[in-house]
């Protein structure tokens, strides 16, 4: 069965001269099958066709078998590295044939002009990566207490990001792309960071972007908000429990990135976020007749505190593992 049609997998002539685009979708579970089909369809119906679409299956044979039967125009690739999103992405990069590799989450759907908006920026030779806007699609509606400044909790763009095309430090993983040659040059994603299954860790994208910038100080990582995707937010991620756990996990992840890249580069954007975005949100929330719920102000404070607690915990764990000499403890 071929629900969406599509060409035979492989590189075909694209509409952006000289730049071939490979799209990688990573999946690990049967539970998101409908979302996965929507993601595939959104890529296969782009106004400017992509050159190839790869589905990387992260150690789930049942999903791979079903995808081979019920999809077409898709190359099914197994994760050849350790289990987790980073290893799956590396497997996709290794199998891709395009000049540019774009990553789309298996529960996200790209806007019809997404591929064109991404690839057109690569005409500038200094641009080595392009990321786009990630809009939340709340299955049960946005909770009234959930602050837009914390939409990163559900893997989406948040209030405080640039509104126009801008150079940035790092991208949101649900919607990002890189020159394949650059990914290979820096060794791809670290497989000891990031999400494994439903564990809410992350930041492997941040660490990769920092490594790219260190490898080539003239490299430009460009945020293009016109290249948009819609990210599914299920009811479980709209809860206080998930909000707290994700904030704590973000702090842990940032501590891990700081160990690899140094606290200066790893926390540069976070310092600006805490000095500017969060204070503005608090002022907005406490202003009379602002229309902001008191619970949103509470969520802002709780989110910052929980994230800082996670970061402190991660730093202490890292010190304990290293020992007083800085060497790995037995």
Tens of pLDDT, residue by residue over 275-311, are 888 888 888 877 765 556 788 999 999 999 999 999 8
Average pLDDT over the chain, rounded to whole?
A: 87
Rounded to whole angstroms, how far apart are CA atoms 75 and 248? 36
Render pLDDT for 209-246 as a digit per residue (tens, 0 to 9).
999 999 999 999 999 999 999 999 999 999 999 999 99
- The answer to the question of residue 8 being in a domain is no
* pLDDT on residue 204: 86
Q: Is position 164 within any domain?
A: yes
In the chain, beta strands by DSSP E: 21-27, 52-57, 75-78, 100-105, 108-110, 127-138, 166-167, 175-179, 220-233
> What's residue 89's pLDDT?
97
Please give the model's pTM, rounded to 2 decimal places: 0.87
Question: In sequence order, which residues have a C-beta less than 8 Å from that of residue 330 and are 6 or more positions away?
Answer: none
Strands, DSSP E only, in 198-273? 220-233
Could you count the other beta carbons within 10 Å of the beta carbon of residue 145? 18
CA distances from 181 to 97, 139, 214 (A): 11, 38, 16
Task: Say how many CA atoms lie within 13 Å of 47 toward its Cβ.
Answer: 9
φ/ψ of residue 3, rounded to 5? -65, -25
Both tokens of residue 16?
């952006």
Question: What is the 8-class DSSP label of residue 236?
Answer: G
Determine the structural domain holding residue 46 and report its residue range.
21-237
pLDDT value at residue 319: 53
User: Which tokens belong to 274?
Assistant: 């805490």
Report yes or no on 150 lying in a domain.
yes
- Mean pLDDT of the region 254-268: 74
Instruction: Look at residue 91 and tell me whether its pLDDT is greater than 80.
Output: yes
Least confident of 56-70, 128-142, 294-308: 294-308
Q: Is residue 58 part of a domain?
A: yes
- pLDDT digit string, tens, across residues 64-79: 999 999 999 999 999 9
How would residue 327 be classed by pLDDT, with cut points 50, 70 and 90? very low
> Residue 144 burial (CB < 10 Å; 0-12/13-18/19+)?
exposed
Judged against a pLDDT cut of 80, whether residue 44 lies above it is answered with yes
Looking at the DSSP assignment, which residues form a beta bridge with residue 130?
Answer: 177, 222
User: How many Å apart are CA 222 and CA 160, to the nearest integer?
Assistant: 16
Say whether pLDDT at 320 is over 60: no
Q: Which residue has the tokens 């690899």?
A: 260
Tell me whether residue 247 is in a domain: no
pLDDT at 153: 95
| Six token digits for residue 54 | 């790869």
pLDDT at residue 14 greater than cutoff 90: no
Q: Can you give the pLDDT at residue 274?
A: 87
Instruction: Please give the residue that has the higher pLDDT: either 198 or 147.
Output: 147
Q: Structural domain tally of the chain?
A: 1
| Token reading at 133 | 């806007």
Q: What is the pLDDT of residue 294?
A: 82
Instruction: In whole angstroms, give the CA distance from residue 303 to residue 196.
Output: 23
CATH number at 54 reads 3.90.550.10
């Amino acid at each position: 069965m071929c629900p969406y049609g599509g060409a035979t997998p492989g590189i075909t002539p694209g509409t952006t001269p000289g730049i071939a685009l490979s799209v990688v979708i990573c999946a690990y579970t049967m539970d998101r099958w409908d979302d996965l089909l929507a993601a595939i369809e959104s890529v296969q119906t782009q106004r400017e066709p992509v050159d190839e679409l790869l589905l990387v299956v992260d150690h789930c044979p049942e999903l791979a078998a079903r995808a081979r039967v019920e999809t077409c125009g898709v190359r099914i690739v197994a994760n050849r590295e350790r289990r987790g999103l980073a290893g799956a992405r590396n497997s996709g990069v290794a199998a891709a044939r395009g000049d540019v590799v774009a990553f789309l989450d298996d529960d996200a759907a790209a806007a019809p002009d997404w591929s064109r908006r991404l690839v057109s920026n690569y005409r500038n030779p200094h641009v080595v990566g392009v990321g786009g806007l990630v809009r939340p699609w709340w299955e049960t509606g946005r909770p009234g207490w959930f602050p837009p400044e914390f939409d990163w909790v559900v893997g989406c763009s948040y209030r405080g990001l640039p509104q126009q095309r801008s150079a940035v430090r790092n991208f949101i993983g649900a919607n990002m792309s890189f020159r394949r040659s650059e990914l290979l040059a820096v060794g791809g994603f670290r497989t000891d960071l990031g999400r494994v299954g439903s564990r809410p860790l992350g930041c492997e994208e941040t660490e990769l972007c920092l490594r790219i910038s260190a490898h080539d100080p003239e490299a430009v990582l460009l945020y293009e908000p016109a290249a948009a995707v819609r990210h599914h937010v299920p009811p479980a991620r709209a809860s206080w429990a998930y909000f707290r756990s994700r904030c704590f996990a973000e702090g842990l992840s940032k501590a891990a990135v700081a160990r690899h890249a140094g606290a200066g580069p790893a926390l540069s954007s976070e310092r600006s976020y805490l000095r500017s975005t969060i204070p503005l949100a608090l002022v907005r929330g406490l202003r009379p007749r602002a229309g902001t719920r008191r619970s949103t102000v509470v969520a802002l404070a709780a989110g910052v505190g929980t994230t800082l607690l996670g970061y402190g915990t991660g730093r202490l764990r890292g010190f304990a593992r290293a020992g007083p000499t800085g060497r790995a403890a037995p």
